[in-house]
Structure 1
């Protein structure tokens, strides 16, 4: 869980709830959330419509896009829902404490997104470094199991979230001892950030080493790696890895400030308010909205698929071919007409000359 400010403080959210919805920071959050919804929806539509993108890796990417879409939508809803006044009903107030003020479902989806990014990285690791094991462990069925696990694990990691969030004097607080809060904060930091970070860093180092060895073997006399098909496959894999590596680096850049602030807050090194968390949370939200732009920038198939969405099902190449064909037909027709007129004029002149 990355939004742990409510875990260790007894701050009341009434001051935040009383502020206007149209504050600049709220407008930015709503706009970013809407961009995330639209961008990730376009990724899902592109993968579903373009057959060349319907492979195992892109199924994981589609699942990640769906999760980021949900995260972006929940973020927008949380901005609006925080404007609601606290309920007098204890059950409803506890729900507001856990889901609205604590953002329970939002952080579940964010953590699921993180674990799915780990799954994508491991899939590429096995495909490139351990291809035999990849065929065994990464069938469609196991891919579905991995995606399901990425949603189940966050509920296990954040199991105590709804249990230990209580209302005390009108404030939503996490009830626990100082040592318990410290252990809980360290556990969340490791489970939600450090472990995924270490796993993906190790995986990309192994992948890069394998690709580097494969590239050095290309062109060697008598080596099977010199085949054109193998060379093309190697380049395609390298491009996919480069794209996913950018996604990973973006994840690190967007989430590291938030994670460090939460860690310092939970272990007692700093006392931070929700307003101080606002800017770094917007940066963290950028992780969910940036991936579609990375796919479009680094992958031609995604760019073509997105263009097809705005060409009403016709690929840009088809539109270009039809336009070129039409121009060629028009050119041939003009040339034929010009030839016919020229022939008619010549015939008329010959007739006049013979009669003279």
Structure 2
């Protein structure tokens, strides 16, 4: 049994959380092993097998790096829960682990947004968007995403800290109980900027893509069919990622944080939503295993080369300077 205090140490609520000491080590261990395998394979294929990076490769390699940095922090959490929520690694590593979790989470969401916008432009405006679908702009977009994530998460390094509960040191998930009042508006702002706004952008992109794909469904061109299949796979996988991992986590996190700040004296309600949130929190880590599937479902480097060869072949039938320029841009896209 564990005790967590309210907003200012009022009316402590006992929480029965013995499930954490079995569920979390098993979940984090599985994510760690599977994530290392998939992200390592993706990086190896991208760096050693892909002769030329595309815009999507730039985004996915950054996703893999973010996943691997987070995965490296999981052994600390596994030890923490094996020791029954006792943190033996000090406050600095506590801050680092919490920062890496949210950096991976919101970095992944922004990179998925970049991928979705790139796919949207390629499907809905395949020719007009060519000047904007370059590796250079993909790299700039990726760098801007990381800069935004770092600025969003700077307060996390202040709020994350260790404390003592029942005579053992813990690493607080969000912050210590006495700081929850000030953490609450930050947590809401982080959810809005890091999850809600990018999610709405992705939703709009995919609705427009689906509309465009339906309108061109009768096209028998094999190149167009391959592009549609790739786009449909991307839509399904990203929507599945949000449905299974990201959306439930943020919904339960918002409700749990609200209850901790404003309804902590309702111990039954507190216990129920603490259970929901702390079950979904490790499950959101599955995004580190799902992200690499975007690479494998988007096609191998050989398939990408083959698709580009076919596109360039059809365009090269017209030897006009305009089409020659388009061919060069497609190869680099």
TM-score normalised per structure 2: 0.69
User: Following the alignment from structure 1 to structure 2, what is the Cα–Cα distance between the partners of residues 161 and 7?
Assistant: 20
Using the TM superposition, give the Cα deviation of residue 238 of structure 1 relative to its aligned residue in structure 2, in angstroms: 1.0
Aligned to 1:247: 237
User: Following the alignment from structure 1 to structure 2, what is the Cα–Cα distance between the partners of residues 86 and 66?
Assistant: 26
Using the TM superposition, give the Cα deviation of residue 196 of structure 1 relative to its aligned residue in structure 2, in angstroms: 1.8
Contact 1:6/1:174 (8 A) holds in 2: yes
Aligned to 2:194: 192
User: Following the alignment from structure 2 to structure 1, what is the Cα–Cα distance between the partners of residues 25 and 47?
Assistant: 33
User: Following the alignment from structure 2 to structure 1, what is the Cα–Cα distance between the partners of residues 135 and 205?
Assistant: 22
Aligned to 2:281: 281
Contact 2:114/2:141 (8 A) holds in 1: yes
Aligned to 2:120: 125
Using the TM superposition, give the Cα deviation of residue 123 of structure 1 relative to its aligned residue in structure 2, in angstroms: 0.9
Unaligned stretches of 5+ in structure 1?
220-230, 306-356
Superposed CA RMSD in Å reads 3.8
Question: Is 1:256 the equivalent of 2:247?
Answer: yes
Mean Cα deviation higher: 190-199 or 63-72: 63-72
Aligned to 2:331: none
Distance 1:174 1:104, change over 3 A: farther
Aligned to 2:45: 46
Instruction: Please list the CA deviations of residues 24-65 of structure 1 after superposition, one character each: whole Å capped at 9, or x if unmatched.
Output: 531332122110111111122223333477322233223223
User: Following the alignment from structure 1 to structure 2, what is the Cα–Cα distance between the partners of residues 138 and 174?
Assistant: 47
User: Following the alignment from structure 1 to structure 2, what is the Cα–Cα distance between the partners of residues 49 and 8?
Assistant: 52
User: Following the alignment from structure 2 to structure 1, what is the Cα–Cα distance between the partners of residues 148 and 77?
Assistant: 23
User: Following the alignment from structure 1 to structure 2, what is the Cα–Cα distance between the partners of residues 181 and 261?
Assistant: 16
Aligned to 2:207: 205
May I ask how many residue pairs the two structures share in their alignment? 276
Using the TM superposition, give the Cα deviation of residue 149 of structure 1 relative to its aligned residue in structure 2, in angstroms: 1.9
Contact 1:97/1:166 (8 A) holds in 2: yes
Aligned to 1:159: 154
Aligned to 1:105: 100
Distance 1:27 1:167, change over 3 A: closer
Aligned to 2:223: 233
Distance 1:118 1:146, change over 3 A: same
Aligned to 2:256: 265
Mean Cα deviation higher: 70-79 or 147-156: 70-79
Using the TM superposition, give the Cα deviation of residue 280 of structure 1 relative to its aligned residue in structure 2, in angstroms: 1.1
Contact 1:243/1:295 (8 A) holds in 2: no
User: Following the alignment from structure 1 to structure 2, what is the Cα–Cα distance between the partners of residues 64 and 210?
Assistant: 27
Instruction: Please list the CA deviations of residues 81-137 of structure 1 after superposition, one character each: whole Å capped at 9, or x if unmatched.
Output: 5659657xxxx844254234xx12221122111111111001111222233553333
Contact 2:107/2:146 (8 A) holds in 1: yes
Unaligned stretches of 5+ in structure 2?
264-268, 305-333
User: Following the alignment from structure 1 to structure 2, what is the Cα–Cα distance between the partners of residues 197 and 7?
Assistant: 31
Secondary structure of the corresponding residue to residue 39 of structure 2 = helix
User: Following the alignment from structure 2 to structure 1, what is the Cα–Cα distance between the partners of residues 278 and 22?
Assistant: 12
Aligned to 2:216: 214
Using the TM superposition, give the Cα deviation of residue 182 of structure 1 relative to its aligned residue in structure 2, in angstroms: 4.0
User: Following the alignment from structure 1 to structure 2, what is the Cα–Cα distance between the partners of residues 74 and 206?
Assistant: 38
Larger radius of gyration: 1
Aligned to 2:185: 183
TM-score normalised per structure 1: 0.65
Instruction: Please list the CA deviations of residues 183-215 of structure 1 after superposition, one character each: whole Å capped at 9, or x if unmatched.
Output: 323212212222121111100111122222233
Contact 2:46/2:53 (8 A) holds in 1: yes
Secondary structure of the corresponding residue to residue 266 of structure 1 = helix
Aligned to 2:310: none
User: Following the alignment from structure 1 to structure 2, what is the Cα–Cα distance between the partners of residues 81 and 42?
Assistant: 28
User: Following the alignment from structure 1 to structure 2, what is the Cα–Cα distance between the partners of residues 205 and 232?
Assistant: 23
